[in-house]
Amino acid sequence: MTEADQATEQLLREILSQERPLDEILGEEFGETSTASNRRWVLDPIDGTKNYVRGVPVWSTLIALTIDGVPVLGVVSAPALNRRWWAAKNAGAWTRALGAEPKRIGVSGVHELSNASFSYSDAIGWPENGALTSLNSSTWRQRAYGDFWSHMLVAEGAVDVSAEPELGAWDMAALIPIIEEAGGKATAFDGGPALRGGSLVATNGLLHDQVLPLLQI
């Protein structure tokens, strides 16, 4: 945690409290503000704090809206990369580079795991069941792009599979609508809803049923 994490979340909370006073808010730094609403904003002020501290440009602010626990809107803003991604239910997934026009994005058409590119954050947190080794040995290319970026690359079609074994709701709520609106699939490792499972595997959809068994080995 840094002062920037806290200051960013506090600013977002102030804006949401003014613009959407009846909605709940859940943030990584300050926890949950409960109301009677079925609408909840989920915030990660700086996803990739260690990168931010060390000057690595792979960090972002994640903002999501869930309704009845289902993510329906997501924004990923990565100012050091001059990039932003966003999506809303039934409105497609989009990205924009600084100074450029918004561009609709979509997942790849790779349908064989042996031809797939796989990305993750690091080897820490993976269960000692060989899941990471199985994915690495079953895919064509493996890279640790890390954090939000792995999953946005899936949404853009540059990567075919991304996975992280341990995530909080604020780490993934914003990612899920973008992946799904891009044509992909995002679940927990057991195939259930990611927000309830505490893990996230994202694919282009075509590969999902091939990937899930490897996560159970």
Q: What is the pLDDT of residue 133?
A: 93
Burial of 11 (0-12, 13-18, 19+ CB in 10 A): exposed
Give yes or no: residues 199 and 182 share one domain.
yes
Dig out the tokens for 6 from the structure: 């806290």
Q: What is the pLDDT of residue 200?
A: 97
Q: What is the pLDDT of residue 22?
A: 96
Q: What is the pLDDT of residue 122?
A: 85
The structure's pTM equals 0.95
Q: What is the pLDDT of residue 153?
A: 98
Give yes or no: residues 67 and 89 share one domain.
yes
> What whole-number distance in Å separates Cα of residue 94 and Cα of residue 178?
8
- pLDDT tens-place string over residues 28-50: 999 999 888 999 999 999 999 99
Report the mean per-residue pLDDT for the chain. Answer: 95
Q: What is the pLDDT of residue 18?
A: 97
Mean pLDDT of all residues in 107-127: 94
Strands (E) across 48-182 are located at: 60-67, 70-78, 83-88, 93-97, 103-104, 117-119, 141-143, 161-164
Give yes or no: residues 117 and 211 share one domain.
yes
> What whole-number distance in Å separates Cα of residue 65 and Cα of residue 50?
25
Lowest mean pLDDT among 59-68, 104-113, 116-125: 116-125
Q: What is the pLDDT of residue 1?
A: 64
- Whether residue 129 is predicted with pLDDT greater than 90 in this model: the reply is no
Mean pLDDT of all residues in 157-166: 97
Give yes or no: residues 92 and 11 share one domain.
yes
Domain termination residue (choose one: 70, 104, 138) = 104
Q: What is the pLDDT of residue 187?
A: 98
Cross-strand bridge partners of residue 200: 164
Give yes or no: residues 92 and 8 share one domain.
yes
Give yes or no: residues 93 and 138 share one domain.
no
Give yes or no: residues 24 and 88 share one domain.
yes
- pLDDT tens-place string over residues 187-211: 999 999 999 989 999 999 999 999 9
> What whole-number distance in Å separates Cα of residue 129 and Cα of residue 102?
42
Number of domains in the chain: 2
